Amino acid sequence: MRRYFARKLLIYALTFVVAVTVNWMIPRFMPGDPVAAMVARARVSQPEAVEAMRAYYNDLFGFDEPVWQQYLHFWGALLQGDFGLSIWVFPKPVADVLLDALPYTLGLMIPSVLLSWFVGNWAGALAARRKVLDNTVLPAGYLLTAMPYMWIAVILAWALGSKAGWFPLSGGYSLDIQPTWSTAFAVDLLQHWVLPFLSLFLVALGGWAIGMRNMIIYELESDYSSYLSALGAPQRLIRRYAFRNAVLPQITGLALQLGVLVAGALVTEIVFAYPGLGSLILAAIQNQDFFLLQGAFLFIVIGVLIANFLIDIVYVVVDPRTRTGMAGGQS
Amino acid sequence: MSTVPEPAAETAAPTAAARPGRETLHYAVRNPKLIIGFTVVVLLLLTGIIGPPLLDNADPNEYVGPQAAPPDGTYWMGTTTFGQDVYAQFVHGLRATFLVGVVGGAIAAVIAMLVGFLAGYRGGAVDEILNMLTNVVLVLPALAVLLIINAYLGVRSVPVQGLFIGLTSWPWAARAIRAQTFSLRTREFVDLARLSGSGTWRIVFREIAPNMSSYLFMMFILLFGGSVLIASSLDFIGLGPTEGVSLGMMLQSAQQWSALQLGMWWWFVPPGAGITAIVGALYVANVGLDEVFNPKLREA
């Protein structure tokens, strides 16, 4: 088990180093001159002012130092939690801007990911080898997984928000209410949360249901299932055994899907103008706020790494083979 | 499509098709999932190919019609707030979507095959290193990396978008190929090839790859669908190609100009439905293919 975790942690550490390096490299080695772009964006006409700004930005990025020193400085600043200053909301540090938005993204993602995983697995397990259910769950599942996240969000907003008027269309809370610890605000917050949550939940649901259905069918065909039914074990018991085995690949699948799920949350937030990381990224792109964009990138990477690690722990709890150092879960 | 299944299977037989190929075709034309999925994809592809030249205007973003008009006889899918023809954008957008799927899927498939075959066949230290690389890229959230890359790209185009999507989306496929190669490399026919002095790549492409060709093909389909979905997300965030139009960019402009609040459903429904139809049809066709290639799955 120690080997298992050591290996995992090594991979995550490497991934983090790669992510930071990519983050550092892209602005420096991409074709084009970000400093020139930023100076041009400020629309200053006097040549002295342009020169001063150029010097300021060069100093800020440390472009006048040797490359390896720039790289070390970048790490140094990062480890102190310094992500630079946002240009969009100027004097505010990027880390603060991101931390303000983070609760909204997490509040949206954690429930939708977990709930869709549980409900999807349950629906898929029920549907496997049951003709009528299978014929409804399977097509619905394929339709849902094929939908782009933002489209289902737009359709839900249109149907349940615009047409039916049940839920508000945009924002994290109403503009005429103060964010305080009150029931009125909590209700308002919840109302704004429902639609983005629902769209994230629905798209992810289909994939889990299909995966679980296929796994259960596979398990029901394996030798131990045949043996159990030959012994006369009730169908319920066989299905329970199959479920426990089928759930393992689904846990690994959750880790593999994290990137896609984050991407889905980002675009869904944009549709609903939900004040999380997705909306920040949109603002950063529209305002050419590269510090904010790069900070958001690192936040997402760190979040995904932590989630991966948590899933690894769950896997060890669920699969006894990893604990005794036998095969299984070697991914 | 399926009106003449019997002769179709027969005519394919004489052209060098050995028995397994003929059998595959026999089951392929009888598989409703494969036929439905395949038909939808081909119809949309044809729309993307034939549609644009039949239009009066070469530029789909030109302001041609009345503003914000619902669908009617002249403008089949209505017009945008600015009077752009949504149908014209849709057929051009289909082209961009198929192109990004092919480019992204192909590049990802090539990298996945190189890494997967090499790691699985060679094993040892090569496997360790490639496996580590695969795991690192696997854990990195692809869209976040693509955001950073595309934000710094001055001029963005559909092929470049496809290239970067391909470069970030190969790991799961590489892993699957590695596992398959691993199980094939100890078979007798591979040993025989090795004894007769064939090199690594010759064995991989002559002996191992043909034995998993159906698997590789299905993997490409999934990579294609994945590329289409990632590209649409990128387009929607505003990092789509700087020129032209794609289905994701149509959704983005509908969002940007509040089509939702204005109730202009004809602006945001077609592009999303197009993406869903392409990707969904590919998935369904893939299940059909699985049943065709894998005898175990045929009788449900």
**Shortest CA gap B1–chain A (Å):** 21
Total domain count for chain B? 1
> Does the CB of A110 have a partner CB in chain B at under 8 Å?
no
What six digits make up the tokens of A52? 């001063």
- Cβ neighbours for A150, distance < 8 A, ≥ 6 positions apart: A267, A268, A270, A271, B232, B233, B236, B251, B255, B272
Residue among A18, A293, A331 whose CB faces B147 most closely? A293
| CB spacing of A301 vs B144 below 8 angstroms | yes
Q: Do the beta carbons of residue B93 and residue B250 sit within 8 Å?
A: yes
**Shortest CA gap B230–chain A (Å):** 8
Quote the ipTM score: 0.82
Q: Is A91 helix (H, G, I), strand (E, B) or coil?
A: coil
The answer to whether residue B108 is domain-embedded is yes
Q: Do the beta carbons of residue B268 and residue B255 sit within 8 Å?
A: yes
Distance in angstroms (rounded) separating the CA atoms of residues A311 and A305: 10
Segments forming the whole domain that contains residue B265: 7-297
With CA atoms as reference, the chain A residue closest to B149 would be A26
Q: Kindly tell me the sign of the dihedral angle through the C-alpha atoms of B146, B149, B155, B160.
A: negative
Distance in angstroms (rounded) separating the CA atoms of residues A47 and B38: 61
Q: Is B240 helix (H, G, I), strand (E, B) or coil?
A: coil
The answer to whether residue B228 is domain-embedded is yes
Distance in angstroms (rounded) separating the CA atoms of residues A110 and A103: 10
pTM to 2 decimal places: 0.84
pLDDT mean across residues, chain B: 80
The answer to whether residue B209 is domain-embedded is yes
Query: What is the residue whose two structure tokens read 């078979």?
Result: B187
pLDDT mean across residues, chain A: 81
**How confident is the model at residue B284, as a pLDDT?**
87
Residue among A22, A264, A304 whose CB faces B139 most closely? A304
Distance in angstroms (rounded) separating the CA atoms of residues B226 and A27: 27
- Given a cut of 70, is residue A62 above it in pLDDT? no
The CATH number given to whatever domain includes residue B67 is 1.10.3720.10
| CB spacing of B233 vs A23 below 8 angstroms | no
Under the banding of pLDDT at 50, 70 and 90, the label for residue A117 is very high
What pLDDT, in 10s, does the model give residues B148-159?
888 877 678 888
> Which amino acid is it at A148?
P
Residues of chain B with pLDDT under 70: 1-21, 58, 65, 68, 73, 154, 296-300
Q: Give, in degrees to the nearest 5, the angle at Cα A33 between A30 and A39.
A: 150
Least confidently predicted of A69-78, A133-142, A320-329:
A320-329
- Find the farthest-apart pair of alpha carbons in chain A and give their distance in angstroms, rounded: 89
**How confident is the model at residue B105, as a pLDDT?**
93
Q: Do the beta carbons of residue A268 and residue A199 sit within 8 Å?
A: yes
**How confident is the model at residue A89, as a pLDDT?**
73
Distance in angstroms (rounded) separating the CA atoms of residues B133 and B142: 14
Distance in angstroms (rounded) separating the CA atoms of residues A218 and A198: 30
What six digits make up the tokens of A184? 């009125």
| CB spacing of B140 vs A259 below 8 angstroms | yes
**How confident is the model at residue A37, as a pLDDT?**
64
Residue among A146, A258, A259 whose CB faces B283 most closely? A146
**How confident is the model at residue A30, as a pLDDT?**
65
- Find the farthest-apart pair of alpha carbons in chain B and give their distance in angstroms, rounded: 73
The answer to whether residue B2 is domain-embedded is no
The answer to whether residue B133 is domain-embedded is yes
| CB spacing of B283 vs A145 below 8 angstroms | yes
The answer to whether residue B100 is domain-embedded is yes
Picking from A136, A296, A281, A282, the residue whose alpha carbon sits closest to that of residue A206 is A136
